[in-house]
Amino acid sequence: MSWINKMKYKKINDLQKDLEFFNRQKLEIVELIETIKSLKKGLNFLSPIGGGIYIDTKLNNETFKLNIGSGKIVEKTKEELIQLLTKRISDIEIIEKEKNIELLNLQNK
């Protein structure tokens, strides 16, 4: 196998791994959205605090705290959070489309 073919094969493999990663990300976000939709004020559930340790938790309201980076936390409503997560899926799909085009172009060379 020539050096060029090896590089092409590696790039194709990397793109396929990227696409698998994006698919997993989207699935995780969809599951998160479904979980958020199911949360209601007064709901009791277990919350992880680390090291496989959980505490009983009661949801006192339907607002959520979101870490936006650099230790900054903002409050979001359920609807705002779902909208944000839906936007993340759209952003991933844009990148996914670009990667698919790149992959097709490489495979057709």
Report domain extents, the chain.
3-107
pLDDT at 105 over 80: yes
Q: How confident is the model at residue 107 (pLDDT cuts 50, 70, 90)?
A: confident
Q: How far does CA 89 lie from the centroid of its chain? A: 7
- Phi/psi at 65 (nearest 5 deg)? -100, 130
Q: Report the alpha-carbon distance of residue 46 to residue 29 in Å, rounded.
A: 20
3-107: CATH architecture: Orthogonal Bundle (1.10)
pLDDT at 1 over 70: no
- Phi/psi at 62 (nearest 5 deg)? -110, 35
pTM over 0.75: yes
* Mean pLDDT (the chain, rounded): 93
| pLDDT tens figures, 21-53 | 999 999 999 999 999 999 988 999 899 999 999
User: At a CB cut-off of 8 Å and minimum separation 6, what does 65 contact?
Assistant: 73, 74, 75, 76
| pLDDT tens figures, 41-87 | 899 989 999 999 999 999 988 899 999 999 899 999 999 999 999 99
